[in-house]
Amino acid sequence: MSISLIFTFMKVYTKTGDKGTTSLFGGTRVPKHHLRIESYGTIDELNSHIGLVRDQDINQHYKHVLMKIQDLLFTVGAILATDPEKATLKNGRARLNIPKISNEDIEALEKEMDTMEASLPPMTHFVLPGGHQTVSFCHIARTVCRRAERLASHLNELEPFQPETLMYINRLSDYLFVLARKLSYDLQAEEIKWIPKKES
């Protein structure tokens, strides 16, 4: 059964989680505090923060890229929400029609970063988050992305999943950092460098 069909027939409230458990794709029930739930729940949180960035008064191209990212984060969430033991049949064929993250998806983020960085001054210091509300929203999304990566990395150690998925989350946090810098530049916001204090 495809993911689209699953959501077509699923009610918002099912009452099946009233005792603190939930179902993964494939039907396995786990506690709602399970690492797998924390992993894809944090991806969902990230998606909401990216939606907030997209709702700002920013270049339409960035909005388009962010919408594509949001779409792919649903794919990431589906991958993380899938019980690996239920994902394939005994003969190795796919049991669940779960989409994948491709190398092209990762390369698309890299190309976007390269394009943005070409117009930015070289980075010589760490930068304090802030300077403009839109930039701050982007930095919040970046840090949530890093948390999602930490959780997904832990999950991958215990129950490995598609390598490109973890690569995409890693590259996305880099993209959000570069986007924050580019938004600072576009909005003419002050970018404050962090310079460690010298001991006296």
Q: And the tokens for 115?
A: 């394009």
Q: Does 6 map to a domain?
A: no
CATH of the domain at 129: 1.20.1200.10
Rounded Cα distance, 75 and 44, in Å:
11
Q: Does 147 map to a domain?
A: yes
Report how many domains make up the chain.
Answer: 1
**pLDDT tens digits in sequence order for the chain, 200 residues long:** 445 444 555 566 566 555 675 555 655 665 567 688 889 899 999 999 999 999 999 999 999 999 999 999 999 999 998 877 665 545 555 556 678 999 999 999 999 999 999 999 888 788 889 999 999 999 999 999 999 999 999 999 999 999 999 999 999 999 999 999 999 999 998 888 888 887 65
Residue closest to 114 by CA, chosen among 179, 170, 61, 68? 179
Can you give the pLDDT at residue 84? 73
- Rama region for 123: left / alpha / beta (φ>0; ψ in -120 to 50; rest): beta
Q: Does 197 map to a domain?
A: no
Rounded Cα distance, 99 and 91, in Å:
19
Q: Does 126 map to a domain?
A: yes
Can you give the pLDDT at residue 94? 53
Can you give the pLDDT at residue 5? 46
* Cα 62 from chain centroid (whole Å): 16
Q: Does 22 map to a domain?
A: no
Q: Which domain holds residue 69?
A: 34-87+98-189
Q: What is the DSSP letter of 145?
A: H
Q: Does 40 map to a domain?
A: yes
Can you give the pLDDT at residue 194? 83
Q: Does 5 map to a domain?
A: no
